[in-house]
Amino acid sequence: MSQDNPLLQHFEYPPFSKIKNEHFKPAIEQALKDARKDITTIAEQSAEPTFKNTLEALEFAGDQLGKVTRIFFNLNSAETNPEIQKTAQEVSPLLSEFSNDLLLNEKLFARIKSIYNQKSELDLNDEQERLLDKVYKNFTRNGANLEKEKQAQLRDIDKQLSQLSLQFGENVLAETNAFELHIEDEKELDGVPESVKDSAQALAKEKEVSGYILTLDFPTYLPVMKFAKNRSLREKMLKGIGAKAFKDNEYNNTENVLKIVKLRYERAQLLGFETHADFVLQERMAKTPENVMSFLNEILTKAKPAAIKEFDELKSFAEKTDQITDFQKWDQAYYSEKLKQEKFDLNEDELKEYFELNNVIDGLFKVAHKLYQVNFKKNKTIDVYHEDVLVFDVTDDNGKFLATFYADFHPRAGKRDGAWMTTYKDQYVKDGKEERPQVSIVCNFTKPSAKQPSLLTFMEVTTLFHEFGHALHAMLANTVYPSLSGASVYWDFVELPSQLMENWCYEHEALELFAKHYKTEEVIPQELIEKIRKSSNFMEGLQTIRQVSFGQLDMSWHNLNPSKITDVKAHENKAFKETSLLPDIPTNCMSTAFGHIFQGGYSAGYYSYKWAEVLDADAFELFKEKGIFDSETAQKFKENVLQQGGTKDPMELYKNFRGQEPNPDALLRRAGLLENKK
């Protein structure tokens, strides 16, 4: 059987054309068996534990499992079908059982611990020490060092937490789905884009009622809030979205929020940390809750004057335009959009004509070459999972092979929304032989038609640069161990290479390489670039304090002993005190639907969004100072950040590149929020 399964053979590139849906489950099961065998061999060998026979062996154990699951999960995102989805349901528990068993393997941990304890006597290089630390922490953060009874307690907490976060998410989803606003008269939808009205009408038809049905899904909600002239309609929508999982019904999440934060606190205490935030931040560039809090405070203090100014401008604009004298939360997006149009009059359709996909890709490769001397050449011999997928060989200027780059640009059924970077293989060195990575970006850009080529919105252009920045991190990696390679870095550092790349989208010197009108070849006019730049900073003060407020709310739940908190809404209002400019809506609550921190993995991590922006703004200031294509600066970034992956502490890497710690003022300057603009 296994001879017929292409996933169980040796392969250099994923053998997409030979893979059938039914190959995945047996391949994953077999690979799991092999991986378990590898681990038993390492854990139960009679030789004394050494870095090589334990840490290094573990690093390369279960190689086939890694290869097969990458293909599987990448396809489940980019080209899925019901059969793959069903297999995912079946194999996911097997995979988490495997990683749980690994982390609970006492013999294995005893070996790792004995090596860790003699760390200073072993002659380890920086990267090896980093790997040892990472693996040791991975075990201890899951309770490997605790006595039996406490370990059982920890398992119990983990079980409860995973059920609670599941429940939390299901409640939010149920509430989203339960909301329907039925509109009979089209006049009430004045200003709402036709496409939104069309789908609202289609939904009404599906439900066999007349008129329109509005939902809280973002493709409906956001345009309604931005464009609907009808103020009471906006009010109903905003109150609807804000009351999610906070109403007096079975989906109310207030108890779940309180239970989750209490269990997280208990878990942290069991592991010897003061709070959950301390636990999380041990593995972050920011390191401590104090650092995060003072970071958020600094940004808030400096951005608030600008935010208040913008807010006043918005209020008087609303009063002047529509005699609104009691400006409310449901007015903000609407008047912001209106004022933006009045000020900048940026026509998306006109702008798109300068960003034809092939031109943009070509320009992106030119930018990458100018900075990092990488070359891209199409390779049509490599197997792909869909005919739209392009494959490139990536080499340096000396012809050395660096990576294989897959690019999958267009939407189709079976591909999830959004854009992302992923790898089929990471870079590493094993037994002296260097392996180069296989890197993929997946996007959802409009497909060209017979009538028109693929024209990108400006946001799609920055998205492409962003994902490509992640891809560079993976492609230029130059480490030994795969788990420290490329983008395998702390969460609050991983967005630096990606966000940094976006900066070139606003620079004339870069844009003239690719922003050419698809019919006339005319380079995008300077005044249009200026408009893009200014409009991207529009209402940045308000945006900034909004992000800060979410970061502060997150920390307020995780940076303390929560046992005394009984009222979720009152706690939240206290956390928002410094940042709220608009009247509170008593029936609304953010925490009960704050999926990032209560359902996903962003707890004590929401600050990372702003943190990463500071990093990229501060890094780009050096490029601005020296020239955006300055080879010395680019080289420094490549050598100290892109090639290093997670082999050193990120602050150390950053300082090696920049010569100093990141300064939040760079972000505020770029956003036009500080007076002394550089």
Q: Which amino acid is at 668?
A: L
Do 111 and 43 meet the contact criterion of CB atoms below 8 Å apart?
yes
- Residue showing tokens 């100290």: 640
Of the residues 310, 356, 460, 467, only one is catalytic, namely: 467
Whether 290 is a known active-site residue: answer: no
Give the shortest CB-470-to-Zn ion separation in angstroms: 6
N-term to C-term CA, the chain: 66
For Zn ion, which is the closer residue by CB, 11 or 420?
420
**Cα–Cα dist 301/310, whole Å:** 15
| Length of the chain as a residue count | 678
Quick one: which of 253, 184, 238 has its CA closest to 213? 184
Quick one: which of 47, 234, 300, 133 has its CA closest to 648? 133
DSSP state of 71: H
For Zn ion, which is the closer residue by CB, 372 or 493?
493
Give the shortest CB-199-to-Zn ion separation in angstroms: 29
Cβ burial of 77 (10 Å; 0-12, 13-18, 19+) is middle
Residue 365, phi then psi, degrees to nearest 5? -65, -35
For Zn ion, which is the closer residue by CB, 441 or 575?
441
For Zn ion, which is the closer residue by CB, 176 or 498?
498
> Residue 402: helix, strand or coil by DSSP?
strand
**Cα–Cα dist 509/628, whole Å:** 8
Give the shortest CB-352-to-Zn ion separation in angstroms: 23
Quick one: which of 590, 561, 587 has its CA closest to 574? 590
Give the shortest CB-468-to-Zn ion separation in angstroms: 11
In three state form, how does the secondary structure of 184-209 look?
CCHHHHCCCCHHHHHHHHHHHHHCCC
For Zn ion, which is the closer residue by CB, 498 or 559?
498
**Cα–Cα dist 297/556, whole Å:** 13
Give the shortest CB-469-to-Zn ion separation in angstroms: 8
Residues that bind Zn ion (CB under 5 A): 498
**Cα–Cα dist 197/189, whole Å:** 8
Which residues touch 410 (CB under 8 Å, ≥6 apart)? 388, 443, 444, 445, 446, 447, 454
For Zn ion, which is the closer residue by CB, 498 or 608?
498
Give the shortest CB-487-to-Zn ion separation in angstroms: 9
Q: Which residue is nearest to Zn ion (CB)?
A: 498
**Cα–Cα dist 325/570, whole Å:** 27
Give the shortest CB-479-to-Zn ion separation in angstroms: 20
**Cα–Cα dist 458/528, whole Å:** 12
Quick one: which of 444, 506, 525, 470 has its CA closest to 642? 470
For Zn ion, which is the closer residue by CB, 64 or 498?
498
For Zn ion, which is the closer residue by CB, 454 or 498?
498
Give the shortest CB-286-to-Zn ion separation in angstroms: 18
Which residues does the annotation mark as catalytic?
467
